[in-house]
Amino acid sequence: MAKPRLKIIPLGGLSEIGKNMMVMEYQNDIILIDAGLMFPEEEMLGVDLVLPDTSYLLEKQGRIRGIIITHGHEDHIGALPYLLAQLNAPIYSTKLTRGLISVKLKQRRVGTKAKLNVISPGSEITLGKFKIEPFSVCHSIPDSIGLIIHTPVGTIVHSGDFKLDYTPVDGKPTDLSRLAQLGTQGTLLLLSDSTYAELPGYTPSERVVGEALDRVISQAPGRVIIATFSSLVSRVQQVINSAAKYQRRVFIVGRSMTDTVRMALELGYLNAPDGILARLDELKGMPRNKIVFVVTGSQGEPTSALVRMANRDHHQVHIVPVAPAMSR
Ligand SMILES: [Zn+2]
């Protein structure tokens, strides 16, 4: 009989930004890592979302022991509503990531029986022949993990998306000491994912973003509109911090942004001093230089709040020329 082999099959996310999804298969056991989507490129006219091709998995459903999610970005969780509509497997993620997944499943009205389990760095789970130990990685969203996967043929390290930032917004840097320890024990394979890692130089700390926000928010004569992904919880935190410093109120615009911020506040991943967050019905009569909007649309997603504002199609927020003399 042939010796059993470990198969590692990327269904997306290799040499591209988006739709991250990896299959690991050993004998009768399959685990999946991430289930992300990709936003369409400019020439993909009429395409709303790009999903990984999961046909390989459909006939092997009964062998899928679990789906492990490294963090809550769209390119890692965005395909879940579509995948779970087709197959049922337990999901494992950290607490904030689980919160983001639940918000997403609710928005898409996906009725699924899939169990959403919480895992945390330092703990270990066993899924079939795979033993998985998450470790902390620093990324633009809190509660991100990489995975140490012990398989019958050796140890695999899957970095998840990471950044080596010694001053991250949430104060949790990548667990380099655990990685160093693994290095001495021997690792079969490292799967490493960090956008633009092949470019020389280094990425500045998120602290630099905080300084830029301070500059803009303190100096802008009118309203400030900041576009980001709704899942970029750390960025929203930076906006709140900066707005609080310069006595501006923060309006969270758009449903996905509002749902995410509410969930992150409830779980304690986002902190806002009393009275900083405002509702859109409080907007009327407020001086323009006291306002910050946080909206989706940083990548020009067609239905996002920013794109609707730019097209004069947003019913609550209208873009106007800056008139420094005007206070409202
Ligand atoms: Zn990411």
pLDDT digits (tens, 9 = 90+) for 66-81: 999 999 988 999 999 9
Query: Is residue 326 within 8 Å of 286, Cβ to Cβ?
Result: no
Mean pLDDT of 42-55: 86
Task: Looking at mean pLDDT, say which of 187-191, 281-285, 297-301, 324-328 comes out highest.
Answer: 187-191
Do strands 29-33 and 145-151 pair parallel, antiparallel, or not at all (unpaired)? unpaired
Q: How far is the CA of 323 from the centre of ligand 1 (A)?
A: 38
d(CA 51, CA 83): 9
Quote the mean pLDDT of the chain: 89
Going by the DSSP 8-state scheme, the letter that residue 84 receives in this structure is: H
Q: How far is the CA of 75 from the centre of ligand 1 (A)?
A: 7
Q: How far is the CA of 161 from the centre of ligand 1 (A)?
A: 5
Exposed / middle / buried, residue 313 (Cβ in 10 Å: 0-12, 13-18, 19+): exposed
Determine the pLDDT at residue 324: 55
Q: How far is the CA of 94 from the centre of ligand 1 (A)?
A: 14
Find where tokens 């789970």 sit: 125
Going by the DSSP 8-state scheme, the letter that residue 144 receives in this structure is: -
In the predicted structure, residue 88 carries a pLDDT above the cut 60? yes
Q: How far is the CA of 134 from the centre of ligand 1 (A)?
A: 16
d(CA 219, CA 230): 25
Given pLDDT bands bounded at 50, 70 and 90, which one contains residue 328?
A: very low
Q: Return the bridge partners of 132, or none.
A: 125, 149
d(CA 194, CA 208): 19
Determine the pLDDT at residue 323: 62
For residue 275, report the phi and psi dihedrals to the nearest 5 degrees. Answer: 85, 0
Q: HSE-up of 125 (CA within 13 Å, CB side)?
A: 19
Q: Given its phi and psi angles, is residue 198 left (phi above 0), alpha (psi -120 to 50 degrees) or beta?
A: alpha
Given pLDDT bands bounded at 50, 70 and 90, which one contains residue 141?
A: confident
- Strand order across the 29-33 sheet: 6-12, 21-26, 29-33, 64-68, 91-93, 116-118
Q: Which of 176, 127, 126, 183 is nearest to 155 (CA)?
A: 183
Task: Looking at mean pLDDT, say which of 150-154, 191-195, 208-212, 310-314 comes out highest.
Answer: 150-154
Q: How far is the CA of 322 from the centre of ligand 1 (A)?
A: 34
Query: Is residue 129 within 8 Å of 143, Cβ to Cβ?
Result: no
Q: How far is the CA of 71 from the centre of ligand 1 (A)?
A: 7
Determine the pLDDT at residue 236: 93
- pLDDT digit string (tens) for 162-214? 888 887 777 788 899 999 999 999 999 999 877 777 889 888 888 889 999 99
Q: How far is the CA of 244 from the centre of ligand 1 (A)?
A: 27
Q: How far is the CA of 193 from the centre of ligand 1 (A)?
A: 9
Find where tokens 């909007």 sit: 293
Q: Which of 105, 124, 129, 130 is nearest to 115 (CA)?
A: 105
Measure CA 166 to chain center: 20
- Strand order across the 224-227 sheet: 224-227, 291-295, 249-252, 277-278
For 135, other C-beta atoms within 10 Å of its C-beta total: 20
In the predicted structure, residue 306 carries a pLDDT above the cut 70? yes
Q: How far is the CA of 176 from the centre of ligand 1 (A)?
A: 18
Determine the pLDDT at residue 221: 93
Q: How far is the CA of 1 from the centre of ligand 1 (A)?
A: 41
64's CB contacts (< 8 A; 6+ apart) are 30, 31, 32, 57, 87, 89
Determine the pLDDT at residue 327: 45
Q: Which amino acid is at 88?
A: N
Find where tokens 């009118």 sit: 222
- pLDDT digit string (tens) for 91-130? 999 999 999 999 889 888 887 788 999 999 989 999 999 9
Q: How far is the CA of 292 from the centre of ligand 1 (A)?
A: 25
Q: Given its phi and psi angles, is residue 244 left (phi above 0), alpha (psi -120 to 50 degrees) or beta?
A: alpha
Q: How far is the CA of 141 from the centre of ligand 1 (A)?
A: 7
Q: How far is the CA of 290 from the centre of ligand 1 (A)?
A: 32
